[in-house]
Structure 1
């Protein structure tokens, strides 16, 4: 995998990937970090792939400019918590406090402190939701873990282990609950068959709206930058 760039202001970094499975040259722009990946077949010269990217420069720059700006967590910034946008302000005491308009965070490492608080809040909400849905389903899960995943919001292993992105706590509550129900339903149906979706609807109810919200707005939840490793 090589790195190049389209010249211009600003230059656009390109990640080149030669693939034995590729049948044509293709471009992909990550909605999470804006990385531009140029994939091309084994028999195609690198220069030809770069020429292809040059012909798509206007398209690439247009898509990059349309991406939402990243938000570095700190005092004065705003962040959605359970779908409610709150301003980050200094706390008078040593605890993080939520009210309708603000999240008060003690000074000093506030991004790291807030990330830890959000992870704990997400775990609390997800355990409660998964316990309820598992009881309705008549199945039990073996574990529940939290990660900062980039490619999926949740998963269910064949051994009943549930995994969720803690950033779901930034989404509206019904979206978090939908994802919890989705993964719990996999305890009964390890697929996405009509039988699976019937289980989701049985334990959660109509799910089209939260599913659509996540598809249309989920990328924005990755805008918020905390300390490394969150």
Structure 2
């Protein structure tokens, strides 16, 4: 029997326990490379991803959910509420809260006005226009941060791309292509600056050696604080849009 891609798994309480059944959103993932059943919390979708190796079925996944039920429920409850791109919604931009304001009769697509993101045109286009604006703003800001760091090390990225990754804020390919999560546009500039400096340093040292970290320290003083900010606040950024 084929696994459903996603479902709500209902875990009844132990016999005799006075507690409601736990309802857990689960995304099933079959993997030929996995050696054991595993689970992780996906902050972006607000669900549990259960990975099943060959010859392991849904029953094994549910057994693992039952074993770690308290941990799973605690982690899901701790997730930030999702934020949709809608009029009145508030989201971070450069670490500062901005509200989305819909101005249907104005022109210009989407732009910043004070501490608001003004979106023009018909209501049905608002989510796409906000998303396009944030990606364009991320590209502009990341590009501006990359230029001085690359000059300082005498390197040049082959190309800078934006992605919507779930677990990595930035990456550097062997051919010199840099990729960043567009969601960094919501983080404070000094946090984004650290991620950019980290990937620029990889253009000189494609590793995490002592030499690499010395280059990062040369480019930015914010490593420890930025890593902590992303650890604490990063999951909330994945809940936006």
TM-score (norm 2): 0.82
Please give the alpha-carbon distance, in whole angstroms, between the structure 1 residues aligned to 2:224 and 2:156.
25
8 Å CA contact 2:93, 2:186 repeated in 1? yes
Shift of 1:131: 1.1
8 Å CA contact 1:6, 1:54 repeated in 2? no
8 Å CA contact 2:30, 2:54 repeated in 1? no
8 Å CA contact 1:22, 1:39 repeated in 2? no
Gaps of 5+ in 2: 12-20
Which one is further off, 158-167 or 37-46?
A: 37-46
Partner of 1:181: 197
Please give the alpha-carbon distance, in whole angstroms, between the structure 2 residues aligned to 1:18 and 1:89.
44
The reply on whether 1:140 has 2:140 as its aligned counterpart is no
In structure 2, the CA distance between the partners of 1:93 and 1:11, relative to structure 1 (3 Å rule), is same
The reply on whether 1:119 has 2:158 as its aligned counterpart is no
Please give the alpha-carbon distance, in whole angstroms, between the structure 1 residues aligned to 2:8 and 2:102.
41
The runs of at least 4 aligned residues of structure 1 exceeding 6 Å deviation read none
8 Å CA contact 2:79, 2:235 repeated in 1? no
Partner of 2:100: 88
The CA deviation string for residues 95-123 of structure 1, in whole angstroms up to 9 with x for no partner, is: 23323421211142111111111111111
Partner of 2:70: 58
Note the 1:91-170 alignment, pairs <5 A: 91=103, 93-95=106-108, 96-108=110-122, 109-170=125-186
Residues matched between the structures, number? 224
TM-score (norm 1): 0.86
Gaps of 5+ in 1: 226-230
Partner of 1:228: none
In structure 2, the CA distance between the partners of 1:138 and 1:48, relative to structure 1 (3 Å rule), is closer
The Cα RMSD (Å) is 2.4
Shift of 1:56: 3.0
8 Å CA contact 1:156, 1:183 repeated in 2? yes
